[in-house]
């Protein structure tokens, strides 16, 4: 059998649970030549990289993982994709917005370093509050807006899908859902675009149960945080970020719900917002507008206005 081609370099900034799990997933895809894991802690990313590399003979992948500690970006130069996980996670009782000032300083520093070391990279932001940190990363890098996007919709949609599948006792593969809007209180699950075995969700689930699952999806991150008590989710979020990075390096054109710059779509302009977008080698190729009900469209526009002010605030952080 011909060996699978690998190309490109992806850097994951932050070697906590989220970052290290993302690095592992990216390595196991075996499509990148190199995965770089960097962190301010000396030794931690190097140790994790060594551990992952030693799993290669068992799992059968050749992608090489490199760890860089001490806050250095040496070895990250020329990355094709950079995933920014750096920042503090939530604690029980905290909202994503409670992290804005602390994480703004971290994300700005990371973004400025990325701009110097990897000026042609596509940046995927996962630090919270997501929509605001994505806007800040674009400002701090000075990159074209299509080359900076945030991971949120993939995760929220996965949570909605899992909630529906568990409620109905069906395989997750039979369920299709979608969430748009912000990664927070103004998240907009889109029941009109949800199906189970091809049937509209409304045909197989009572309206009050749909609304219950919508609310559970909005609170999905807090539910995990409350149970863990000492951190936030990372298995599902890392899967989402890794899929986005893979779509970039493979120039796949996959349509995914992500936090992208919206400029006229849905009658909304000048804001980073959760929408469906076609992802390729240059980042967001285009925002894909889908059919929404009047109430869903109103919710999306409400979300846009809610995050717009906060995104303007981060410019000075």
Which residue numbers belong to the known binding site? 14-19, 39, 90, 96, 103, 126-128, 159
Binding-site members for NAD(+) are 14-19, 39, 103, 126-128
Q: How many Cα atoms occupy the beta-carbon half-sphere of 106 within 13 Å?
A: 23
Contact 181, 188 (CB under 8 A): yes
Q: Which residues contact 93 (CB under 8 A, 6 or more apart)?
A: none
**Residue spans of alpha helices (H) in the chain:** 17-29, 44-53, 56-59, 100-117, 130-141, 153-168, 201-204, 207-218, 220-228, 235-249, 294-313
- What SS3 class is residue 119? coil
Q: Is the dihedral of CA 179, 247, 310, 230 positive or negative?
A: positive
Q: What is the DSSP letter of 22?
A: H
Backbone angles phi, psi at 249, to 5 degrees: -65, -30
Q: Both tokens of residue 22?
A: 């993302």
- Those residues with Cβ within 8 angstroms of residue 90's Cβ, 6 or more apart along the chain or in another chain: 96, 98, 99, 128, 221, 222, 225, 232
Binding residues for substrate: 90, 96, 128, 159
Active site residue 183: yes
For the chain, give the number of residues. 317
Q: Looking at 108, 183, 243, 246, which residue is catalytic?
A: 183
Q: Tokens representing 51?
A: 């551990």
Greatest Cα pair distance in the chain:
55
By annotation, the residues acting in catalysis are 183
């Amino acid at each position: 059998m011909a060996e699978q081609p690998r190309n490109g370099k992806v850097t994951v900034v932050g070697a906590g649970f989220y970052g290290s799990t993302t690095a592992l997933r990216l390595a196991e895809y075996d499509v990148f030549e190199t995965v770089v894991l960097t962190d301010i802690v000396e030794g931690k990313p190097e140790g994790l990289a060594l551990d992952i590399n030693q799993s290669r003979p068992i799992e059968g992948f050749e992608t090489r993982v490199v760890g860089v500690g001490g806050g250095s970006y040496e070895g990250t130069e020329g990355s094709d994709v950079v995933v920014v996980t750096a920042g503090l996670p939530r604690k029980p009782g905290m909202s994503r917005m409670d992290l804005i000032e602390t994480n703004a300083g971290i994300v700005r520093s990371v973004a400025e370093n990325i701009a110097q070391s990897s000026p042609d990279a596509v940046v995927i932001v996962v630090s919270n509050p997501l929509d605001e940190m994505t806007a800040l990363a674009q400002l701090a890098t000075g990159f074209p807006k299509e080359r900076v996007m945030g991971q949120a919709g993939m995760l929220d949609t996965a949570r909605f899908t899992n909630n529906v599948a568990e409620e109905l006792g069906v395989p997750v593969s039979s369920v299709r859902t979608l969430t748009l809007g912000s990664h927070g209180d103004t998240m907009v699950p889109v029941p009109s675009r949800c199906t189970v075995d091809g049937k509209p969700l409304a045909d197989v689930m009572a309206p009050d149960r749909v609304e219950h699952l919508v609310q559970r999806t909005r609170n999905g991150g807090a539910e995990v945080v409350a149970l863990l008590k000492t951190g936030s989710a990372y298995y599902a979020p890392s899967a989402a970020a890794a899929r986005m990075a893979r779509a970039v390096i493979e120039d796949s054109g996959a349509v995914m719900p992500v936090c992208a710059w919206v400029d006229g779509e849905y009658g909304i302009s000048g804001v980073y917002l959760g929408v469906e977008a076609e992802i390729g080698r240059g980042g967001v190729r285009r925002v894909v507008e889908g059919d929404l009900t009047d109430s869903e469209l109103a919710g999306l526009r409400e979300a846009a206005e809610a995050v717009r002010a906060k995104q303007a605030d981060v410019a000075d952080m």
